[in-house]
Amino acid sequence: MNSAVLGPDELERYARHIVLREVGGPGQARLKAARVLVIGAGGLGAPVLLYLAAAGVGTLGVVDDDTVALSNLQRQVIHATGDVGRQKTQSAAEAIARLNPHVRVVTYPLRLTGTNALDLIGGYDLVADGSDNFETRYLVSDACYLAAKPLVTAALGTFDGTLTTVRAHERGADGTPNPSYRCLFPEPPPPGTVPACAEAGILGALAGILGSMIALEAIREIVGFGEGLVGRLLMIDARAMRFETLHYRWDPANPLSGETPTIRDLSGYR
């Protein structure tokens, strides 16, 4: 991520960032130079996109093949009633333009697949995954490892959520490989065991909390301050308003980044 020059209006827009010692002018310039690919413009992707745009991330890519439905608006706050029936990527791009004209938005109104994932991810510095299904989460995490890109990924339940950062293509301070998503969750649950959002329901404000935390973690990764979530899974329980952290490590037996990997490309995905 190269530095970028901030104009006078940008200096005023981001003044509350710039006065922060941990961000300052250099950190804000890194945000402007950054390219972040956001997977999904739904419940999690909506706040991710809004807060990354407000923070001044220079280029945002947004991947989503869906259209806005009325039932989305309870939690997908980047869209409005007048957007029902429109492509989510286009609706999101227009909302971002209204919020911050300094941000370039690249839209991909398509489904991420094993065929296109590496090409899409390869053009960005960091990926923020707000997808709503297990197949896409595993595809994104595998693709980020193969493309050597950092990933901030989250999952949302009815009253709970999880968040972690994956830099499995790098090693920790002790020389051990950083854990991959498959070190944390070796396999997706069997089909049909986890009900879809339309069946189980979802608390709208929880999507806002977790999506904002994805954006915060992405900003920290770009600017480079604080202790990231590599090797840590943050868990949220909205019923008890409780936050817990689970530590996890590299698994030498994992099929992606282990000692004898069996996943070397994305040919196993449709």
Mean pLDDT by 10 residues, the chain (270 residues): 78 97 97 98 97 98 98 97 98 98 98 96 97 93 98 95 97 96 89 69 94 98 96 97 97 96 91
pLDDT of residue 191: 73
**57 and 100 inside one domain:** yes
| Longest pairwise C-alpha distance within the chain | 54
Count of domains in the chain?
Answer: 2
Question: Residue 158, Cβ neighbours under 10 Å: how many?
Answer: 14
Rg (CA), the chain: 18
44, 45, 51, 57 alpha-carbon torsion, rounded to 10°: 140
pLDDT of residue 198: 67
The tokens for 95 are: 């909302």
168 occurs within a structural domain? yes
pLDDT of residue 2: 42
The domain spanning residue 123 has which CATH number?
A: 3.40.50.720
Domain of residue 189, residue span: 34-247
**90 and 141 inside one domain:** yes
pLDDT of residue 197: 67
Nearest CA among 53, 127, 140, 39 for reference residue 95: 53
270 occurs within a structural domain? no
**26 and 45 inside one domain:** no
pLDDT of residue 200: 77
pLDDT of residue 190: 77
**114 and 79 inside one domain:** yes
pLDDT of residue 163: 98
176 occurs within a structural domain? yes
pLDDT of residue 111: 95
Which residue in the block uniquely carries the two structure tokens 């297990």?
A: 134
